[in-house]
Chains A and B, each alone.
Chain A
Amino acid sequence: MTTPAGKPPIDRQALIDLGFIDARAKVLDIAAFLDRLDRAPPSAAPTDFRVDAIRAALAIAIDTSPARAERILKCWSDPTTQPVAHADGKAARGAHPPGNT
């Protein structure tokens, strides 16, 4: 790359100009998603680990430390280290359920 490691070639103001509207739209979509869940009829389960995972990620997204994307991905990841005996279906769910360690 032509810029020092970690430094974008364009300055912060230019990056804001380039990305603000897109980020604004994504923040609104998350807020509306949570509002939609509040308006929906309650289900048997009081909470869903995937929604809890989003709330945990939002806390990381607004803190002041670097590497937010990396820390969110780690927050959602399976923390175990050994292969499982058998695959539990083909599809991952997006966040690791609590207690499955």
Chain B
Amino acid sequence: MYIDPHIHMVSRTTDDYARMAAAGCVAVTEPAFWAGFDRSSAAGFYDYFRQLTESEPRRAAAYGIAHHAWICINPKEADDHGFAREVMSMIPEFLSRSNVLGVGEIGLNRNSKTELTVFEEHLEIAARHNSLVLIHTPHLEDKLKGTRLILDAIAAHGKINPARILVDHVEEHTVRMVLDRGIWAGMTLYPDTKCSAARAVDIMEMHGTERIWINSAGDWGRSDPLAVPKAVVTMRARGHTAADIHKISFDNPRAFLSQSGNFNVNAPRPTIS
């Protein structure tokens, strides 16, 4: 039994739901993200937020998987401040829905000034609505600088309990600085550009398993919706106990997500066998 706390199921097939359910997935959470192209209007985001909160939970429920969403304008489409503000004005309506956990995945992409301003405005929305926050950190060579900028912005904002924030996509060079701020850290298991399962297990061995989760961040790019159960196999091969495996793949995400009263890990009864 496991939770994949970060996966973009709108980009995945129904077969993926079937395979995840067979592998033991009981719950997913789906942050708002970039669709691979820039949406041309705020109305496009409105429809996307409806898809995340109305359509996708039904697809998941058919396989006995609980589905929750996070709402935001992602940093890849946040470099136009006026457009971003128009989208952000819709967020409160969706935060009031019973299957929405908070604001995410916000953060930085190329570490621009506008991205940072939009990130700070998202933090303010989360603070006003007492929401959990899920943060994307930049890719590749931009990650170290972007993670520092994000952590500094959180500290300067100062209105959100760090225990209610998760900074995702950490790697060896960023995990410690996140944990040292009292913030949760997410490790994303990707074929090329983030953590391999072996490196994620290394990081757990070196930094412990407190306030850490693993996720697939499966989407339309190179990614694997079964990355979490495959990491479990790696943990077993590396000699980790069943208790440690359950903690990282189930207990930890449940603990963080349950800070939102909207999270319910009890999966709906499957309607497709």
Note whether A and B form a binding pair.
Answer: yes
| Contacts beyond the supplied A9-B241, A69-B199, A86-B79: 11 A-B pairs with Cβ under 8 Å | A2-B244, A69-B172, A77-B142, A85-B112, A85-B113, A86-B112, A90-B110, A91-B139, A92-B139, A94-B141, A95-B140
For the residues of A in contact with B, the DSSP-based class is loop
A83 to B145 alpha-carbon distance, docked (Å): 9
Q: Are B240 and A2 in contact (CB under 8 A)?
A: yes
Q: Are A78 and B145 in contact (CB under 8 A)?
A: yes
Contacts of B122 in A (CB 8 A): none
A94 to B239 alpha-carbon distance, docked (Å): 33
Q: Are A80 and B109 in contact (CB under 8 A)?
A: no
Q: How far is the CB of A22 from chain B (nearest CB, A)?
A: 8
A83-B141 contact in complex given A69-B199, A70-B173, C-beta closer than 8 Å: no
The 7 closest A-B pairs by CB, nearest first: A9-B239, A87-B110, A92-B140, A77-B144, A70-B172, A10-B239, A73-B173
Contacts of A93 in B (CB 8 A): 140-141
B76 proximal to A (CB < 8 A)? yes
Contacts of A77 in B (CB 8 A): 141-145, 173
Q: Are A87 and B140 in contact (CB under 8 A)?
A: no
B205 proximal to A (CB < 8 A)? yes
Q: Are B141 and A92 in contact (CB under 8 A)?
A: yes
A83-B208 contact in complex given A2-B244, A10-B238, A69-B199, C-beta closer than 8 Å: no
A81-B145 contact in complex given A1-B205, A92-B138, C-beta closer than 8 Å: yes
How many chain-B residues does the 8 Å CB contact rule pick out? 40
A83-B112 contact in complex given A1-B244, A93-B141, C-beta closer than 8 Å: yes
Contacts of B105 in A (CB 8 A): none
Q: Are A74 and B144 in contact (CB under 8 A)?
A: yes
A5 to B198 alpha-carbon distance, docked (Å): 17
A12 proximal to B (CB < 8 A)? no
A55 to B198 alpha-carbon distance, docked (Å): 23
Q: How far is the CB of A18 from chain B (nearest CB, A)?
A: 6
Q: Are B110 and A95 in contact (CB under 8 A)?
A: no
Contacts of A9 in B (CB 8 A): 238-241
A3 proximal to B (CB < 8 A)? yes
7 example contacts (A-B, Cβ-Cβ < 8 A) are as follows A1-B244, A5-B206, A5-B208, A69-B199, A77-B143, A83-B116, A84-B111
B115 proximal to A (CB < 8 A)? yes
By beta carbon, the residue of chain A nearest B76 is A90
A 2-30 contacts with B by CB, 8 A: 2-3, 5-10, 14-15, 18-19, 22
Picked from A6, A79, A84, A94, the residue with its CB within 8 Å of the CB of B206 is A6
Picked from A74, A80, A86, A90, the residue with its CB within 8 Å of the CB of B173 is A74
By beta carbon, the residue of chain B nearest A96 is B141
